[in-house]
Chain A
Amino acid sequence: MTLLDFVRGPGFFWAFTILIAGIVLRIAGLLLFRRRRDLSTPRDTSRVLGGLRTVAMRSVPPHELEKNIKFQHFTGYAWHLGWFVTFLFLGAHLPLIRSVLGFAWPNLPNSVILVITAVTLGTLVTLYVRRLFHPVLRVITDVDDHISVLLVILPLITGVAAFAHVAPFGVRYETMLGIHLLSIEALMVWLPFSKIFHVVTALMTRFRIGAAFIRRGVRA
């Protein structure tokens, strides 16, 4: 079995299965966790609105800190958006999306995606290098962060290499495509059990905090 056959076959099947099982596993665990009941009188009963407001407010830095973290704020959003646009709007990805969801949408022109991907990759690499040399970030970065960053960058690099048919070390196209799929499978297996699980928990957490605090009359 060649690398490509493996990553298009059993490799993807098991990575996808682990991804689904892992996400559901962790959500179930989180939701079934025991929480202390709030026995105080509710100051405001609109929990959903409170939750949504917190999701919105915590999606931008607090006004007081904005000046200090503007760079991280904008670059963070930039690469996140770029990453998802690349994944969801490249023509070559849409047949896979259609096969999983049963429907898809129009793709963006390849030249547009290439520019977006290049900017995303440049931003990611810059932020990672900054993380390695910044006096504070260096100290608080752990193994989880390193692996997560690398697993997010690898699909972009290998994807561009495959798409543009560049052949480092004489690697043939089908091998580069196989490596690209392998990097995605590594990301899928890593996602539920690492910091990258924030793709699920980020909005969930903000909503929960907002809903909990609005009861106490706090705009969180």
Chain B
Amino acid sequence: MDNKAHTALDAIAVKIERASGNVPPLLHEIRHALALLLDHGESTCIDLKSMPLAPGEEERIVAALGSGEVHAEVDALGLSEIAETAFPGVWVVSHCDERGAIQARFIEVTQVPDVLRSQHSDIADGLARLTTRLTVDG
């Protein structure tokens, strides 16, 4: 009997050929969206889960965009990761649930992704709580 009880998954010799070539077209789409943002202030949102990407392609696209100055985490119904890429205005937004499984992934071309903005009703809630605290504490 072999010493190794299990073969590690990456020991199985499977070579993935570059099948669908989605990276360049997507980068072009992002380029157009950036131009639109610059010239007209219009935001664009690309849903990465809506495309039939080959295995590993989503990672390749995100790697191609690189990382920039901003990296934020939002803790609401699980963690969401919002990272500005090496191209200012191009953000990768990943929504995870409380188990850490990815629910949705977007490439947002905008000045600030909506999920980072504080929402009106939440601000109102916060104001009410702060007012209560100050009233109680005197």
A and B touch in the complex (CB under 8 A): no
- Interface residues, chain B, CB within 8 Å of chain A? none
